[in-house]
């Protein structure tokens, strides 16, 4: 129960501080998406099926933000992780630190309310530095998904707007799991995920097609092809 109350307590504390110390202007935003496969760090979270996603954010002029995001999930192939929903809660601070550069740091809690117990739930702290269209970042969890001990994630993103309303997006991430293999099924303790995608904005809607893959094979992902290369198609809207 304490694990599930923790993100709400932190968020309430930060939000109270942001509003009590000064009259900060606040802005609420929202997003919704439909994807052909929910891939997180290269691995399917929806059993390679369609997922619906969405979230809300509250941002302040001082750079503090708080938000929540959710997605349908399907982990039926893994015993004990039979939930159908992921809910994320986060709070952070982002700010420009010079011309064409910015930093972002925060706390993120992953909640799987439909699981048997709370073994799937975990928390991360994260940080990133952006310069022009390049972002370098990392995340750390003291006890990763499924109570699998420490985890570090290092990534680089690059987005190139090559035409009006068009962008080409590149991503590579390095997953450093606990030395006993973390949550993977054959004691593999590191892997790389990568993606190349194109996004087109039309009539206020973003259409995307992304090639996603990992260096994992089926034996390392519970005998499934959740880590195999695939193309993910998406339609999303920000409000």
124 CB burial (10 A radius; 0-12, 13-18, 19+)? buried
Q: Is the dihedral of CA 174, 175, 176, 179 positive or negative?
A: negative
Give the residue from 85, 91, 136, 127 showing the smallest Cα distance to 109: 91
Q: Is the pLDDT of residue 157 over 60?
A: yes
**pLDDT, position 61:** 93
Q: Is the pLDDT of residue 197 over 70?
A: yes
> Is 216 in a helix, a strand, or coil?
coil
What is the token pair recorded at 113?
């309310």
Spatial contact of 38 and 46, defined as CB atoms under 8 Å apart: yes
> Is 29 in a helix, a strand, or coil?
strand
Q: What kind of fold does domain 2-238 have according to CATH? A: Porin (2.40.160)
Mean pLDDT calculated for residue range 139-146: 91
Q: What is the pTM of this model?
A: 0.88
Q: Percent of the chain beyond pLDDT 70?
A: 84
């Amino acid at each position: 129960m304490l694990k599930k109350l923790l993100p709400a307590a932190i968020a309430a504390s930060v939000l109270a501080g942001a509003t009590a110390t000064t009259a900060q202007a606040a802005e609420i935003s929202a997003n919704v998406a439909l994807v052909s496969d929910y891939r997180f760090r290269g691995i399917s979270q929806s059993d390679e099926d369609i997922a619906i996603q969405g979230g809300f954010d509250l941002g302040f002029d001082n750079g503090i933000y708080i938000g929540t995001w959710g997605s349908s999930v399907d982990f039926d192939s893994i015993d004990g992780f039979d939930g159908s929903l992921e809910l994320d809660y986060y709070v952070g601070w982002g700010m420009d630190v010079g011309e064409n550069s910015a930093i972002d740091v925060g706390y993120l809690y992953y909640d799987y309310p439909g699981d048997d117990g709370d073994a799937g739930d975990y928390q991360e702290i994260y940080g990133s530095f952006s310069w022009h269209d390049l972002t370098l970042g990392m995340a750390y969890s003291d006890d990763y998904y499924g109570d699998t001990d420490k985890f570090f994630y290092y990534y680089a993103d690059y987005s190139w707007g090559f035409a009006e309303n068009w962008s080409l997006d590149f991503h590579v991430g390095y997953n450093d799991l606990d030395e006993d293999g973390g949550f993977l099924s054959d004691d593999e303790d590191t892997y790389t995920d990568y993606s190349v995608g194109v996004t087109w904005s039309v009539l206020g809607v973003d259409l995307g097609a992304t090639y996603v893959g990992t260096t994992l094979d089926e034996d390392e992902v519970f005998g499934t092809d959740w880590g195999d290369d695939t193309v993910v198609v998406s339609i999303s809207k920000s409000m």
